[in-house]
Amino acid sequence: MGRSIRWQALLAGLGIVLLAAILASTAREFTNLTVPAQGGVYTEAVVGSPRAINPLLSFSSDLDRDLTGLIFQGLVALNERGEPIPALAESWEISPDEKDITFRLRSDVRWHDGAPFSAADVVFTVGVLQSDAFAESGQPASTFLSQLWRNVSVEQIDPYTVRFRLQQPLASFLAENTIGILPSHLWNNVPIAELSQSMLNLQPVGTGPWRLASLTALEARLEPNPYAASPTPFLEAIEFRFFPDYASAFAAFQAGEVDGVSRVLPQDIAAAQASNEMVVLTAPLAGATFVYFNLENAAVPYLADAQVRQALNLALDPSKLIDRVFNGQGIVADGPFMVGAWAHTPGQRPASDPERAAEILAAAGWTDSNRDGVRDREGVDLAFELLGDNEALLQELAEQWRQVGVLAQPRLVNLASLASDYLSPRTFQAAVTHWQLSGDPDPYPLWHSTQIDSGQNYTGWSNEQADLLMEQGRSVNDPGRRIQLYSEFQRIFAEELPALPLTNDVYAYGISDQVKDVEIGRLNWPWERFRSAHQWYIVTQRVTVEAPR
């Protein structure tokens, strides 16, 4: 009897211990988290109205470029360093003689209307670029694009393989394949001569991550591509609301009408940063400002003297230009390539040193003999006319040069006139110029001696060693070898200075603090501010998860 009671007590005790162990093992701690959720519309104020949402026609409008960048894709894209990465092509192969490039296309891509993408679309688009009608259309960049692509033969190997054959190796050609591909099933019935008049330019169908859902005179609405292989974005839509200028676009944000502004101008930076609702994101943009010297202008022969140009460079402090003219929105440039680009070699720019500049000029015979504040030599003043479209920048440059006895005479001209009336006919003495430096950094079109008479080498600079380096740099596809060649080219450029690098561009983007997880890095084009748009979110939800123990 007693033994039975003891066994029952023991079993009861074991049960209590087992129950406690089970309860301990199942006792969990949970917590509530706020996480992104699907939904929400991001509305951005942009300047202008769409005219040609077509990658072959959109070069004259930032808004058209924004839209085509989101709606269309090329065979390749560029990463933040300007290096080609896969897009519609999943891979490519370059032949040993570097004249053939074979692209293997993605087989999972569909156009926004559901039709399959294939090599036929690539062949069709190249055919448009090569046509006489396109070359003669008078559209921005049509002549350049036609000349480039006419030197290329294209062959469809199979539905997902296309081969390009170049007449000679051209390393920059890979980056030219960022141009968006058109859907042949929609465009093949449109005469190329009527390309710019087609309604398809306002009803675009692409393969990009966003598709055009609607377009009115007031706004455009983009929604996620339903056929995209990538994860669905959190945002329900991106809406572009059209304004006549950046001042009214910024005012719309201040009035709470939009969630962002496509670009915050330098004069609006202070107000934007003072706003409790706007986050100002800045990123390097592939563009640069230079002072060009005409080395062949007989009226200013001293500008052909590299010593004089070196002194003019040492006399300048670009950081002061950025602070005083651009409200801090810029990066000091130190050469012909963008800071941060894969071809850029840092350290090419000497520190500002007006005293050393004065010593160089004096050693070259430039002194202020009549004490009028301007250096002279043999009765000739060290003076030149300085053209440009930014009055504040012209005045600041003139003032910095005045400190070392150089007379730069500012003359304000509009951008179109600067290009057509002064740069192209080579009638300028010195000019402040701005260049878009996106894509491959190939310096040949701007600086090779063959481009002096009819190309874009407006300075007239000629250097045999630099020419050879540029020729080799564009004829090899090995990135390491190109970096070596371009590093040496930059060294020669820094010694001769046919133009003075002033600033690299900075893009300022204003967006509401209610839009989360927005990131921008170095931009090749402004539309790349949406590079991370797939992860942006406005709507959130509460979820319960087990807390870590």
Q: CA–CA separation, 151 vs 119, rounded Å?
A: 19
pLDDT value for 542: 87
pLDDT value for 548: 67
Nearest in space to 228 (alpha carbons), one of 91, 118, 88: 88
Is the pLDDT at 379 greater than 50? The verdict is yes
Is the pLDDT at 7 greater than 50? The verdict is no
The CA–CA distances, whole Å, from 176 to 52, 76, 111, 144, 223 equal 20, 9, 22, 12, 27
Question: Which of 129-143, 182-196, 414-428, 478-492 has the least mean pLDDT?
Answer: 129-143
pLDDT value for 547: 72
Q: CA–CA separation, 254 vs 43, rounded Å?
A: 13
Q: CA–CA separation, 215 vs 51, rounded Å?
A: 11
Q: CA–CA separation, 8 vs 47, rounded Å?
A: 86
Helix (H, G, I), strand (E, B) or coil at 491: helix
What is the separation of C-alpha 385 from the centre of its chain, rounded to a whole number of angstroms? 31
pLDDT value for 261: 97
pLDDT value for 182: 98
Is the pLDDT at 13 greater than 90? The verdict is no
Q: What pLDDT, in 10s, does the model give residues 224-253? A: 999 998 889 999 999 999 999 999 999 999
Q: What pLDDT, in 10s, does the model give residues 37-87? A: 999 999 999 999 999 999 999 988 999 999 999 999 999 999 998 999 999
Question: Which of 5-9, 450-454, 487-491 has the least mean pLDDT?
Answer: 5-9
Q: What pLDDT, in 10s, does the model give residues 315-372? A: 999 999 999 999 999 999 999 999 989 999 998 999 999 999 999 999 999 999 999 9
User: What mean pLDDT comes out for the span 456-472?
Assistant: 98
Beta carbons of 321 and 432 less than 8 angstroms apart? no
Is the pLDDT at 443 greater than 60? The verdict is yes
pLDDT value for 97: 95
pLDDT value for 198: 96
Residue 347: left (phi > 0), alpha (psi -120 to 50), or beta? left
pTM for this prediction: 0.89
User: What mean pLDDT comes out for the span 391-411?
Assistant: 98
The CA–CA distances, whole Å, from 272 to 44, 62, 208, 280, 284 equal 15, 21, 31, 7, 18
pLDDT value for 27: 53
User: What mean pLDDT comes out for the span 460-466?
Assistant: 98
pLDDT value for 4: 43
Token pair of 480 as six digits: 């390491």
Token pair of 169 as six digits: 């190796």
- Domains along the chain? 41-277+513-540 (3.40.190.10), 284-505 (3.10.105.10)
Is the pLDDT at 511 greater than 60? The verdict is yes
Nearest in space to 79 (alpha carbons), one of 525, 510, 483, 413: 525
pLDDT value for 9: 44
| Residue 208: how many other CB atoms lie within 10 Å | 23
